[in-house]
Structure 1
Amino acid sequence: MKILFSDEKFFNIDGVYNSQNDRVWAVDRVDADEKGDIQQRRKFPHKVMVRLGAFSKGITPLVILDERTVDHGYYINKVLLVVLKYGNKVFGDDWIFQQDGAKPHQHNLTQKWCQENFPSFIDKDHWPPNSPDLNPLDYSIWDEFVNVIDWNKVESKATLIQQLKSSVKKIRESVVVESCTSWTNRLYRMSQNNGNYLH
């Protein structure tokens, strides 16, 4: 497995929830509330976007994307340069980069940069949209990350960033390895399920 998976996620001082990726399987609303729990949220909580990469032997350094809106130029300079350096260090010149379909990722200059710099990458036309079942970060590693954060110590944006930086080191290697090595099986199961979400 020489795929380096990549994803960004928002964390806020109330905890973490991503309506695109976080789902609760339930028979009705009451069942969903019991399984998923209802939590109070501040109206405008402080939040931080982070970027993480994962591959069959570990995770990449955490990148805090907190300085400005992430457009294609910022994404190339702040994220892709880190990914390229790390991927080449771990794999040499034989590996594949994966990113989802976020706007900065799909931008023609981002796609061109990836084509010219990565040994190989999955371009925007070959990665399915809304596919959390195919990214180890979405179906496993983000959850692990959320659970190792000491949320009692998160009181402000600064303490949230501190917890993110210290907690990323607590992500269990076994979780990363298992989630990445199960990717091929998940890809096969999804193809057998007509591309629908896995249960």
Structure 2
Amino acid sequence: MCIHFFEPREALDHARYISLLDELIMPAYEERYSDGNFVFQQDNAPPHKDKRTQCYLLEHALFIPKEDWPGYSPDINPCDYRLWAWMKQKVYEGGMPQSLNVLKARITEVWDALDAETIRKWLRELRPRLQKVVDEDGKLMQQYFNKV
């Protein structure tokens, strides 16, 4: 998957997000999953929930619409419950980057080093998390699961 760095103070609104989906994200998914065997998952960020974004995705990808996504979606998104903390830990292992360019280089290096087995391990945690969300009627689940 691709990494995109925003410029300082560059905002992400629905229009910019749809542009990124169209130009970077969907082409990368289509290349990697040419058989169409993937579900595009988002969180509840405003650009993701925007009606125009939802319409775009309805036309371009299999995805879970905002109406069907639980309010505490970080509990069941492997990026939120594992990836971002892992990335932060790895990026800062060598100390605080001394420039924005060094930070970007470290982020890219750590991202590129993420191996398939680690991802599979995180995904194995998904089914129990989903079941717990169902059992608890969509309530916040974070307290039930270990952190990175």
Same fold (TM over 0.5): yes
Tell me, in whole angstroms, the C-alpha distance in 1 between the residues paired with 2:126 and 2:133: 10
Q: Pick from 109, 122, 127: which aligns with 1:184?
A: 127
RMSD: 1.9
Q: Distance in 2 between matches of 1:152 and 1:136?
A: 26
What is the Cα deviation at residue 151 of structure 1? 4.4
- C-alpha deviation, 1:114, in angstroms: 0.5
Partner of 1:62: 3
TM-score (norm 1): 0.63
Unmatched 5+ stretches in structure 1: 1-59
Q: Normalising by structure 2, report the TM-score.
A: 0.82
Partners of 2:94 and 2:15 in 1: how far apart?
33
Q: Aligned equivalents of 1:145 and 1:171: distance in 2? A: 9
What is the rounded CA distance, in whole Å, between the counterparts of 2:37 and 2:109 in structure 1? 31
Which of 141, 145, 148 is equivalent to 2:87? 145
Structure 1 pair 181–82 and aligned structure 2 pair: CA distance change class (3 A) = farther
* Alignment pair present for 1:133 and 2:70: no
8 Å CA contact 1:148, 1:171 repeated in 2: no
After TM superposition, where is structure 1 displaced by more than 6 Å over at least 4 residues in a row? none
Q: Decide whether the 8 Å contact of 2:14 with 2:52 is kept in 1.
A: yes
Q: Which residue of the partner structure matches residue 58 of structure 2? A: 115
CA shift, 1:99, in A, is 0.5
- Cα deviation, 1:137-158, whole Å, max 9, x if unaligned, reads 1111112212221442501222
TM superposition shift of 1:81: 3.5
* Alpha-carbon distance between aligned partners in 2 of 1:154 and 1:99, rounded to the nearest angstrom: 29
Q: Hey, what's the Cα distance between the residues in 2 that align with 1:96 and 1:148? A: 27
Q: Residue type matched to 1:65 in 2? A: F
- The equivalent of 1:13 in structure 2 is none
More helix by proportion, 1 or 2? 2
* 1:164 aligned partner: 107
Higher RCO (CA-CA < 8 Å; seq separation 6+): 1
Give 1:65 shift: 2.6
Q: How far apart, in 2, do the equivalents of 1:117 and 1:85 lie? A: 10
